[in-house]
Amino acid sequence: MADKSHEPAGSVSATPPEFRAGTGYLLTRLGAESRRRWARMLTEHGMTPHHYGALMTLEAVKVTHQQHLAELIGVDPRNAVSVVDFLERRGLIERTRDPADRRRHTIRLTAEGRTTAGTLRRAGEVIERDMLAGLTGDERTSLHALLQRLFEVTVDR
């Protein structure tokens, strides 16, 4: 039986129980809710998921080439140009010629880019905390482990 203690007295769930019985349905609905919250947060910062992905990736790898960045964030290299241009205009990244290959540019975060990446990461942590607030610490740990395993066997093969 589902815990309805978080619902106002007399309220009825809008989702039929037969829908909630399907794991795929629950994953889809929760994924949509997560995307909605993330999109709102990113919009408040004037960003898109690709901008976020580029900043987080650059924070992790420190310096890379535009082509490699596109691969890492899963964007067609032609579309990565507008992402990189946007981040450069905002002063979040800098491009410099690669001394080893003058045809290529290296990309790295600026100080402002590192600050922005930290701000976005913390905002994302708040979203995650809010979405998982109804679970205990052990339940969050178990959920993460199960999702990680599912990801490994279905997506990251």
CATH number for the domain that contains residue 95: 1.10.10.10
- Asked, for residue 3, whether it belongs to a domain, the answer is no
pTM for the full model?
Answer: 0.79
Q: Output the pLDDT for position 2.
A: 47
- Look up the domain containing 68 and give its range: 27-154
Q: Which of 119, 41, 39, 50 is nearest to 87 (CA)?
A: 50
Q: What is the pLDDT along the chain (157 residues), one digit of tens a residue?
A: 444 445 454 455 787 777 778 899 999 999 999 999 999 999 999 999 999 999 999 999 999 999 999 999 999 989 999 999 999 999 999 999 888 888 888 999 999 999 999 999 999 999 999 999 999 999 999 999 999 999 899 987 7
Domains: count for the chain: 1
- Asked, for residue 14, whether it belongs to a domain, the answer is no
Tell me the CB-side half-sphere exposure of residue 130, using CA atoms within 13 A. 11
- Asked, for residue 105, whether it belongs to a domain, the answer is yes
Residue 96's DSSP bridge partners are: 106
- Asked, for residue 8, whether it belongs to a domain, the answer is no
- Asked, for residue 5, whether it belongs to a domain, the answer is no
- Asked, for residue 96, whether it belongs to a domain, the answer is yes
Query: C-alpha 47: how far from its chain's center?
Result: 12
101 CB neighbour count, 10 Å cutoff: 10
